[in-house]
Amino acid sequence: MKLIGPGLGLAFGLVLRAGSAVAAPVGAGEPGALGVVVTPAAEEPVTLSTGSGWSRLPVRFTLPDGVHVYWLNPGEAGMPTRLDVDLPAAWSRQAPTRDPVMPPPERFESGGVVGFGYADEVVMLAEFPIAPSLAVGDEATAEVEVRYLACDDQRCVPGSAALGVEVVIGEPWQRSATPAEQALRAAYDAPRIVEAEEVEPGTWAFPLAGVPAAATAVGFFPLPRESAEPLGDHASLRVIEGVPAAEPDGQGGHRVTAAVTPRTRHAGVAHPSPPWTAGVVAYTLDGERRALPLLGVRSPPR
């Protein structure tokens, strides 16, 4: 399957410059950009819990043949898919925004350009803060704003959808995950920590641990720069540059060699360079796409 055609760079640039050509958001079940259909992926009303201060709503994308949307890190070109939830004032709680929870992506290449994303159908989770003062049985409508970039072999078109999802407050700490959420979370294995070797200044190599020997379509997907959040007051993840590919290690496994740089603050001042970076290892096993988060920790110089 192709994610993008040879003319993606030109098409993507034209789309982003033609802001007036972006269509208004469509409703649930209505065809949007390039025929993409966006709907809630749970029976309503969806039961939410105030116990953790966060809740989730699953959103389904149904894509025509040859059309793709993007992961958190879109790759060399594209736009990450965004899910934003708006609640009534009494339901809202101030908190930093979180990225959508997405299933393991696939790597696509066409015309020498690499992208990370999804074809056919994909369910993502919108994650949002919720006020702790709500009572069991309270009801409301959650407005979900969906923004995505749909691409086929010829063009890329930005799309948006507006979903109204009926929600109800359940018992604290007793929120039942929807089937879509259960399936998404079951696709992820436990995180792994691996030793990264600095093979030359600014270039690290590390194994993709935890991938079964029978797995196919093994790929490594770096976290986007915006998600490399600080770990403490002065440290952050090292950002992996570009779209490094998983390579056989000669011993039946896979490894990645990647350029890494410190994250920079908005003032252009670089963070101290911490000894770790992160991404997602995704693979196909028995016809299912699976993944595990991976933290690469640089070994001390020998």
Residue 223: give its domain's CATH number: 2.60.40
CB 258 within 8 A of CB 240: yes
Is 1 inside a domain boundary? no
Number of separate domains in the chain:
2
Higher-confidence residue of 278 and 275: namely: 278
Q: Is the same domain home to 36 and 158?
A: yes
pLDDT in tens, 126-160: 999 999 999 999 999 999 999 999 999 889 999 99
Q: Is the same domain home to 249 and 176?
A: no
DSSP state of 89: G
Q: Is the same domain home to 180 and 203?
A: no
As a whole number of angstroms, the distance between CA 115 and CA 110 comes to 9
> What is the chain's percent helix, strand, coil content, to nearest 5?
10, 45, 45
The mean pLDDT value for 73-100 works out to 91
Looking at residue 202, its pLDDT comes to 87
Is 3 inside a domain boundary? no
Three-state helix/strand/coil letters over 18-49: CHHHCCCCECCCCECHHHCEEEECCCCCEEEC
Is 103 inside a domain boundary? yes
Q: Is the same domain home to 172 and 201?
A: no
CB 171 within 8 A of CB 136: yes
Mean pLDDT of the chain: 84
Q: Is the same domain home to 103 and 131?
A: yes
Q: Is the same domain home to 208 and 96?
A: no
Whether 20 shows a pLDDT value over 80: the answer reads no
Is 67 inside a domain boundary? yes
Q: Is the same domain home to 244 and 134?
A: no
Q: Is the same domain home to 174 and 212?
A: no
Q: Is the same domain home to 123 and 227?
A: no
| Structure-block tokens of residue 75 | 């790759």
pLDDT in tens, 230-256: 444 444 677 888 899 999 998 889 999
Where does the pLDDT of residue 8 fall: very low under 50, low under 70, confident under 90, or very high at 90 and above?
very low
Percent of the chain with pLDDT over 90: 55
Is 267 inside a domain boundary? yes
As a whole number of angstroms, the distance between CA 148 and CA 79 comes to 7
Q: Is the same domain home to 87 and 146?
A: yes
Is 2 inside a domain boundary? no
CB 175 within 8 A of CB 55: yes
**For residue 252, what are the domain limits?**
188-298
The mean pLDDT value for 257-276 works out to 68
Percent of the chain with pLDDT over 70: 82
pLDDT in tens, 33-58: 999 999 999 999 999 988 888 899 99
